[in-house]
């Protein structure tokens, strides 16, 4: 079996309701596309997981935050609303407020973290080397604040769980979501056990407004946070340049014991919330780069996929990522005609300049950056 895919229909409860960009339709669209285009056979197996407990969540969240969001989202699910002043700027940002008819968001968020916990155990116990968590990658959530459509940070949970339960000392997190993973960065900003590499759109042009090349960690973790901001419109040539000059060399020097990647299809050229230039075929290349990187850690990868705000691109893009990771040959068509302006990466020179400055910021911490 090439890859385990963690998913259950309960994930569809992670739905912020009518009028919100993050809807549960993404999960049905993907699962239907997967089953219609790729038989399980020896390619993959779908595995269900269990939600985490309060005790599990205390690994990454404060108790008062857990209590609040549990009650708030349960009320929202039943059509009960809280006055804005109760939570605004305390536990949740406005983009985490559900619209009409939301799902049971907090319960499904626990299941998403549960999938990450299961993925860690499956990989570390040797059952599978590559595990994909559908619905994972909630990288904006912080210990006591939910934002960016994220309630509990499953990526942070995975790294902390691997350190505490499985006693790992070198974990590489690769974030390829178009938005910087500000929550994940906060969790590990001073932690040298976690090398956090984040490739995202320039935060001066997009939410969350963090993830600049000057943000490289602090204390013992200085140099272990690596932000790679891309100019709007950047395409695959820019990504390849970053992989070749930043990601691959750092992975080789760091020698991780496992890699956790997160990110869906929001770097797609026609995404409704972002301004990057990847095609569906480019997402396969990200998966291939991840597979190549995993040679540094005996092939061990946990991949978390949820984002993307063009429904036409979600299913083929997510499957393209998985096929690249698992080395599955499958022809996946572009879901819509790609404009000629995306055939060439006109932002490559800007990316090269960014990489030059980034390497200068990192040269005191990594031999490969000198």
Domain count, the chain: 1
| pLDDT value at residue 2 | 87
Q: Is the pLDDT of residue 87 over 70?
A: no
| pLDDT value at residue 67 | 95
| 167 part of a folded domain | yes
| pLDDT value at residue 82 | 73
From 68-82, 183-197, 235-249, 265-279, the region with the lowest mean pLDDT = 68-82
Give residue 55's domain range.
3-15+22-61+105-369
| 209 part of a folded domain | yes
Per-residue model confidence as pLDDT tens digits over 116-157: 999 999 999 999 999 999 999 999 999 999 999 999 999 999
| pLDDT value at residue 366 | 98
CA distances from 209 to 201, 206, 215, 307 (A): 10, 6, 12, 18
From 55-59, 67-71, 158-162, 252-256, the region with the lowest mean pLDDT = 67-71
Q: Is the pLDDT of residue 197 over 70?
A: yes
| 287 part of a folded domain | yes
| pLDDT value at residue 174 | 99
Q: The CATH number of the domain where 194 resides is what?
A: 3.40.800.20
Strand pairing category for 171-175 and 258-262: parallel
| 32 part of a folded domain | yes
Complete DSSP assignment for 146-189: BBTTBSS-HHHHHHHHHHHTS--S-EEEEE-SSS--HHHHHHTT
- Span 316-321, mean pLDDT? 98
- Span 42-65, mean pLDDT? 97
| pLDDT value at residue 81 | 79
| pLDDT value at residue 89 | 72
Q: What percent of the chain has pLDDT over 90?
A: 95
pTM, entire model = 0.98
Q: Is the pLDDT of residue 1 over 90?
A: no
Q: Is the pLDDT of residue 320 over 80?
A: yes
pLDDT bracket for residue 88 (50, 70, 90): low
Tokens of 213: 């090349």
Q: Which helix (H) or strand (E) holds 6?
A: strand 3-6
Tokens of 11: 């994930």
| 82 part of a folded domain | no
| 90 part of a folded domain | no
Q: What percent of the chain has pLDDT over 70?
A: 98
Do 355 and 235 form a contact (C-beta atoms < 8 A)? no
pLDDT bracket for residue 338 (50, 70, 90): very high
DSSP strands (E only) in 20-177: 44-47, 130-134, 171-175
| 88 part of a folded domain | no
| 137 part of a folded domain | yes
Residues shown for the chain: 370
């Amino acid at each position: 079996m090439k890859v385990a895919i963690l998913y259950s229909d309960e994930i569809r409860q992670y739905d912020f309701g009518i009028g919100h960009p993050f809807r549960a339709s993404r999960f049905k669209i993907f699962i239907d596309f997967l089953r219609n285009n790729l038989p399980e056979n020896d390619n993959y197996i779908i595995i269900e997981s269990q939600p985490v407990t309060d005790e599990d969540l205390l690994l990454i969240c404060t108790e008062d935050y857990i209590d609040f969001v549990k009650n708030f989202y349960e009320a929202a699910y039943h059509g009960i609303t809280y006055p804005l002043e109760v939570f605004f700027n305390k536990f949740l940002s406005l983009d985490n407020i559900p619209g009409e008819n939301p799902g049971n968001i907090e319960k499904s968020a626990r299941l998403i973290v549960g999938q990450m916990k299961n993925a860690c155990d499956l990989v570390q116990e040797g059952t599978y080397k590559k595990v994909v968590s559908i619905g994972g990658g909630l990288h904006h959530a912080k210990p006591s604040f939910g934002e960016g459509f994220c309630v509990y940070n499953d990526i942070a949970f995975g790294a902390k769980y691997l350190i505490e339960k499985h006693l790992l000392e070198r974990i590489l997190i690769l974030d390829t979501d178009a938005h910087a993973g500000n929550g994940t960065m906060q969790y590990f900003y001073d932690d040298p056990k976690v090398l956090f590499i984040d490739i995202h759109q320039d935060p001066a042009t997009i939410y969350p407004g963090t993830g600049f090349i000057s943000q490289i960690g602090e204390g013992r973790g200085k140099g272990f946070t690596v932000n790679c901001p891309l100019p709007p419109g950047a395409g695959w040539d820019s990504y390849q340049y970053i992989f070749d000059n930043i990601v691959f060399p750092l992975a080789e020097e760091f020698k991780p014991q496992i890699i956790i990647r997160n990110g869906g299809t929001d770097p797609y050229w026609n995404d409704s919330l972002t301004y990057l230039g990847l095609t569906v075929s480019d997402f396969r290349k990200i998966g291939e780069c991840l597979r190549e990187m995993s040679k540094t850690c005996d092939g061990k990868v946990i991949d978390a996929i949820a984002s993307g705000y063009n429904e036409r691109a979600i299913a083929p893009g997510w499957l393209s990522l998985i096929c690249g990771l698992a080395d599955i040959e499958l022809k996946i068509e572009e879901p819509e005609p790609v404009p000629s302006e995306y055939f060439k990466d006109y932002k490559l020179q800007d990316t090269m300049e960014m990489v030059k400055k980034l390497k200068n910021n990192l040269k005191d911490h990594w031999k490969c950056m000198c």
